[in-house]
Structure 1
Amino acid sequence: MRICVLGGGVIGVTTAYFLARDGHQVTLVERRADVAQETSHANGGQLSYSYVAPLADPSVLPKLPQWLFSRDAALRFVPRLDPHQWRWCVEFLRACTRARSQQTTAELLGLGFLSQRLMHEIVARESLDFDYVRNGKLVVFRDREGFEGACRQAQYQAKFGCEQHALDGAACVALEPALAHIGGDIAGGIHTPGEEAGDCDSFTRHLARAAQRDGVQLQLATELSGLRINESNVQAAITSQGDIEADAFVMCLGFQSQPMLASLGVSVPVYPLKGYSLTLPDAREHGAPRVSVTDAHHKVVYAPLGERLRIAGMVDLTGMSAHADRERIALLTRQARETFPQAGDYDAIQTWTGMRPATPDSKPLIGTTRFRNLWMNTGHGALGFTLACGSAQLLADRLANRALPLDGDAFVPARWTR
């Protein structure tokens, strides 16, 4: 089958890779001069297969006033005269129930564990240099209430196969000595030894080259302006390099999937959660963490990537502009300095802003649309790198009408489309 994949981030490239391995003739269309140049370029770097609980949870409801009125909040919401933003927010609030949160956690854990197994297979099969490490993850809490809630979550996730250990503050510092500077502030932590990290940009670019060896045609620096349709099918992708006809099309355009689908009369609640990252180019051996660390209080992640340290955080629900807010970057830098003051030269940091495409319930959209040959693989929020391999396999299985490795109905776009 001839398949056209739209979008060259980590989701689009993994989708093209798995479809090509199924024997399809795949063309990938990307507007940038190379893959992974937007949301996948400098994300947090953590492969957090056991940390996929949705953002929509009852615990966020008391925090809403802070999100509205504090510029220093980890999650910041700025209301817009935008019906799409308000629809997303209403559906998000509806998803903030204990039952839905636990059900979504179970479903995302299944997709996460599938992704982890497939990542291990890719690493064993392909020669990919992306600073990949299986170094575990430590989430530290500065308040007793947050730590006790995390312990309860770990107990719930244990029945799905998650191996997680609760540590007191001293044990957290013993595991990761770089935390000594804030050791007195740590109420406890959750250690997940099986978690991993890697450079998403390098992974995506190297996997794209592997996909080319399997026959994928990369059509880079190619603008997509629309899709030519008839009543029930997409006939061609309209691009700056001419129309591309195919038997099937897979939309992996991140948050840009929403306006593209809207132009076809398909409405989906995918909205960008703007995030920020810093990269310390020469992380110091004794001052930067070697374990992936998440500071739960500030919602900031720290991932060692070779000689670099990736620092990422913030969730800005503020509109469709990817413009970097200098105040948010300054805040993230200050929080990183306070946590790991000896990690490296903070005056040499490299900054990045990305638009993470999120659904209200935090579950991606994987499946077909009302157009029989138009498929979706988008809406992964902050979990694109973590869930990319499992999502691509799930889409390939559904397209081939094979038995699914998990409950694929949990991720169908039909739960939201109208």
Structure 2
Amino acid sequence: MKIVVLGAGVIGVTSAYYLARAGHEVTVLDRQPGPALETSHANAGEVSPGYSSPWAAPGIPMKALKWLFMKRAPLVIQPMADLATWRWMLALLGNCTQARYALNKGRMVRLAQYSRDCLIALRTETGISYDARMQGTLQVFRTQKQLDGIGKDVEILAGDSVPFEVLDRAGCVAAEPGLAPSADRIVGGLRLPTDETGDCYKFTAALASLCEGLGVRFRYGLDIRGLQLSGGRIEAVATADGAIAADAFVVALGSYAPALLAPLGLDLPVYPVKGYSLTVPIIDEARAPVSTVMDETYKVAITRLGDRIRIGGMAEIAGFNLDLPPSRRATLEHSVEELFGGAGDQRQATFWSGLRPMTPDGTPVVGPTCYANLFLNGGHGTLGWTMACGSGRVLADLMSGREPEIASDDLALSRYGR
């Protein structure tokens, strides 16, 4: 079958890889000059099935109100008057119940754990290199109140059979020796030893090269203008270079997918939640993190990527704005310097922002649509890197007429009744 994949981020490229492995003729289209140059380019670097939880959770509305008044707030809501923003935020609030949280988290953990297994298999089969580390994630708490409040998280982790360790201050330093000079700033932590880290950009670029070896064709620098419908099926994708026909189509355009799908009557509830990162070269190995450290106070992830530190986090509701305000950079610098002061050279840091494609229930949209030859793979939010391989494999199985290895009916767009 001839398949066109729209989008060359980590989701689009993993989709192309598994589709090509299944024997299909695949073409990937992207407006950028290469793979993973937008949201996949400089994310936090975590592959964290254990942290696969929806943002919409009981208690989040009250926490969000408090965050809005913090000097270094993890959440920023810019004044917005457009209907799409308010509609998405109301849908998010509607998922902040215990029942919805349990349902959504169950879906996310299922896909994330499967994705980790797929990534391990892919790495074993191909020998792909991307600054990978398999040394876990450590969530550090600066206050006793934060540490005392992990009871529900621990209960969920135990229920999902996710290995974890609750650590005191000394235990945190033993896991991450670079924290020793700042040990007095933390009271304890929660460690997930089976989590991984890695450079999502390096992975996606390397996988794109492997895809080319499987016969996948990449067409970069191509403006995608729409999908052409004929007889209840998608006939072609309209581009700046003309129409490109295929037997089936995959939309993996992240935050830009809803605009492409709207003319077809498809209402994809994905919103661009802006995030930021700093990438800092290491100048003091002994003070640098070993793996990923999550600073619970500022909701910032500090990750070791080879000879660099990636500091990523924050959530900003600001539409498609990609500006880089100095105040956001200051928050990232503050977090890393308080915990790993002097480990990296901030003067040489690269400051970046990207748009996370978020659904209101946290679960990505993976699967078919009401059009028989149109499939979706998007809405992964902050977990695109974590869920990429599993999502690509599920999609390839569905499009190849095979039963996926995990339940997938509740991942499709149809779960919204649309």
TM-score, length of structure 2 as denominator length: 0.97
Task: Note the alpha carbon deviations across 1:326-349, whole angstroms, 9 max, x for none.
Answer: 221122222222221121111111
Inter-partner Cα distance in structure 1 for 2:391 and 2:125: 19
CA contact (8 A) 2:141 2:147 kept: yes
Do the aligned residues in 2 keep the contact of 1:268 with 1:417 (CA within 8 Å)?
A: no
Q: How do 1:270-285 and structure 2 match up within 5 A?
A: 270-285=270-285
Q: What code does the residue aligned with 1:44 have? A: A
- State whether residues 367 and 412 of structure 1, in contact with CA within 8 Å, keep that contact through their aligned partners in structure 2: yes
Counterpart of 2:219 in structure 1 is: 219
Tell me which amino acid in the other structure corresponds to 1:155. E
Alignment correspondent of 2:15: 15
Which residue is equivalent to 1:117?
Answer: 117
Query: For the Cα contact (< 8 Å) 2:64–2:75, is it kept in 1?
Result: no
Matched, 1:192 2:183: no
Match of 2:30 in 1: 30
d(CA) in 1 for partners of 2:268 and 2:282?
42
Secondary structure at the aligned position of 2:264 is classed as coil
AA partner of residue 206 (structure 1): A
- Once residues 168 and 69 of structure 2 are traced to their aligned partners in structure 1, the CA distance between those partners, rounded to angstroms, is 33
Residue type at the aligned position of 2:106? A
Distance 2:36 2:404 in 1: 28
Partner of 1:379 in structure 2?
A: 379
Q: Which amino acid aligns with 1:350?
A: T
Quote the RMSD (CA, aligned, Å).
Answer: 1.4
Q: 1:195 to 1:363 in 2, by over 3 A?
A: same
Identity over aligned residues, as a percent? 39
- CA offset digits 1:267-301 (Å, max 9, x no partner): 12100110110111234211111131111111010
Corresponding position: 1:250 with 2:250: yes
Question: In the alignment, is residue 49 of structure 1 matched against residue 44 of structure 2?
Answer: no
> How do 1:143-222 and structure 2 match up within 5 A?
143-222=143-222
Amino acid at match of 2:239: T
Residues 252-272 of structure 1 deviation map (CA, whole Å, 9 limit, x = unaligned): 000000111113221121001
Residue 173 of structure 1 aligns with an amino acid whose one-letter code is V
Deviation at 1:71, TM superposition (A): 5.9
**Is this contact kept in 1: 2:287–2:343, CA < 8 A?**
yes
Alignment-derived partner of residue 368 in structure 1: 368
* Conserved? CA contact 1:43–1:200, under 8 Å: yes
Measure, in 2, the Cα distance between the counterparts of 1:71 and 1:354.
22
Q: Which deviations, in whole Å up to 9, do the C-alpha atoms of 1:14-63 show, x marking residues without a partner?
A: 00000000000000001111000000001000111111011101121212
Q: Helix, strand or coil: the match of 2:353?
A: strand
For 1:263, the equivalent position in structure 2 comes to 263
Corresponding residue for residue 391 of structure 1: 391
CA contact (8 A) 1:87 1:269 kept: no
Match of 2:6 in 1: 6
Are 2:54 and 2:362, in contact at CA under 8 Å, matched by a contact in 1?
Answer: yes
Question: Secondary structure at 1:337's aligned position in 2?
Answer: helix
1:71 & 1:237 partners in 2: Cα distance? 46
Q: Secondary structure at the match of 1:58?
A: coil
Shift of 1:67: 4.3
Q: Tell me which residue corresponds to 2:358.
A: 358
1:97 corresponds to which residue? 97
Report if aligned partners of 2:356, 2:380 keep a CA contact under 8 Å in 1. Answer: yes
Kept in 2: contact 1:7–1:30 (CA 8 A): yes
Partner residue, 1:236: 236
Q: Is the 8 A contact 2:295 2:335 kept in 1?
A: no
Partner of 1:310: 310
> The residue matched to 1:404 in structure 2 has which SS?
coil
Q: How does 1:398-409 map to 2 (within 5 A)?
A: 398-409=398-409
SS in 1 for 2:287: coil
Extract unaligned runs of 5+ from structure 1. none
- What is the distance in 1 between the residues matched to 2:71 and 2:127? 44
CA-CA distance at 1:231 after TM superposition: 4.5
Structure 2 residue aligned with 1:107? 107
What's the offset of the Cα at 1:351? 1.1
Aligned residue in 2 for 1:65:
65
Aligned to 1:289: 289
1:348 is matched with 348
1:83 equivalent in structure 2: 83
- The Cα of 1:68 is off from its aligned counterpart by 4.3
1:68·1:78 contact (CA, 8 Å) conserved in 2?
no
How far has the Cα of 1:129 moved from its partner? 2.0
* Distance (Å, rounded) in 2 between the aligned partners of 1:189 and 1:330: 24
How far residue 417 of structure 1 moved from its aligned partner, in angstroms, is 6.0
1:360-402 Cα shifts (integer Å, max 9, x gaps) = 1110001112222111000000000000000011111222232
How does the TM-score come out when normalised to structure 1?
A: 0.97
